[in-house]
Structure 1
Amino acid sequence: MLSKISRITTQKKHKDRYNIFLDDGQGEKYGFSVDEAVLVEYRLRKNMELDDATITALIQKDTLHKSYTLAINFLSYRMRTKKEIHGYLLKKEVDEEHIAKIMDKLSEEGLVNDNEFAQAFVRTRIQTAEKGPMLVKQELMQKGVDNAIASEAVDMYTFDVQFDKAMKLAAKKLRTDNNKSFQKQIQQLQGTLMQKGFSGEVVQAVTAEFRNEKDDDAEWAALVKQGEKLLRKHQPKYSGFELEQKIKEALYRKGFTIELITIFLDEKREE
Structure 2
Amino acid sequence: MQVTNITKLKVKYKIDLENGKHFYVSEDTIIKYGLIKKIDLSKEQLKEIIAHESVESAYSKAVHYLQFGLRTKQDIREYLQKKEIANNVIDEVIEKLIEIGYLNDDHYVEAAVTDYFNLNLKGPYWIQRKLLEKGLDKDVIDENIAKICTEEAMIEMLYKIIEREYKVRRETKNKKVQKITQKLYTNGFTSDIIRKVFDIFFEDYEDENEDEILDEHFRRAYQSYSRRYEGYAFKQKLIEKLIRDGFSYYTAKDYVEKQDL
TM-score by length of 2: 0.91
Whether 1:57 and 2:48 are equivalent positions in the alignment is yes
Distance in 1 (CA, whole Å) between partners of 2:17 and 2:24 is 11
5+ residue gaps, structure 2, are none
Distance in 2 (CA, whole Å) between partners of 1:58 and 1:216 is 75
Instruction: Name the residue aligned to 2:14.
Output: 19
Whether 1:167 and 2:159 are equivalent positions in the alignment is yes
Whether 1:8 and 2:3 are equivalent positions in the alignment is no
CA positional deviation for 1:259? 4.3
Residue among 19, 28, 44 paired with 1:37: 28
Distance in 1 (CA, whole Å) between partners of 2:189 and 2:207 is 28
Distance in 2 (CA, whole Å) between partners of 1:231 and 1:98 is 72
Cα 1:216–1:81 shift into 2, 3 Å: closer
Distance in 2 (CA, whole Å) between partners of 1:215 and 1:257 is 18
Where in structure 1 do 4 or more consecutive aligned residues deviate above 6 Å? none
Distance in 1 (CA, whole Å) between partners of 2:118 and 2:172 is 32
Counterpart amino acid of residue 53 in structure 1: E
Name the stretch that deviates more: 44-53 or 232-241: 44-53
More strand by share: 1
5+ residue gaps, structure 1, are none
Distance in 2 (CA, whole Å) between partners of 1:269 and 1:133 is 52
Matching of residues 137-148 of structure 1 within 5 Å:
137-148=128-139
| Contact 1:81–1:143 (CA under 8 A) maintained in structure 2 | yes
| Contact 1:166–1:198 (CA under 8 A) maintained in structure 2 | no
TM-score by length of 1: 0.88
Instruction: Name the residue aligned to 1:230.
Output: 221
- Alignment RMSD (CA, Å): 2.0
Name the stretch that deviates more: 92-101 or 261-270: 261-270
Tell me the secondary structure at the aligned position of residue 255 of structure 1: coil
Distance in 2 (CA, whole Å) between partners of 1:84 and 1:258 is 54
CA positional deviation for 1:213? 4.3
Deviations 1:131-159 (A, max 9, x none): 11211121111222122221112121111
| Contact 2:181–2:191 (CA under 8 A) maintained in structure 1 | no
Tell me the secondary structure at the aligned position of residue 208 of structure 2: helix
Tell me the secondary structure at the aligned position of residue 120 of structure 1: helix
Deviations 1:208-238 (A, max 9, x none): 0232245453111111101111111111211
Identity of aligned residues (%): 25
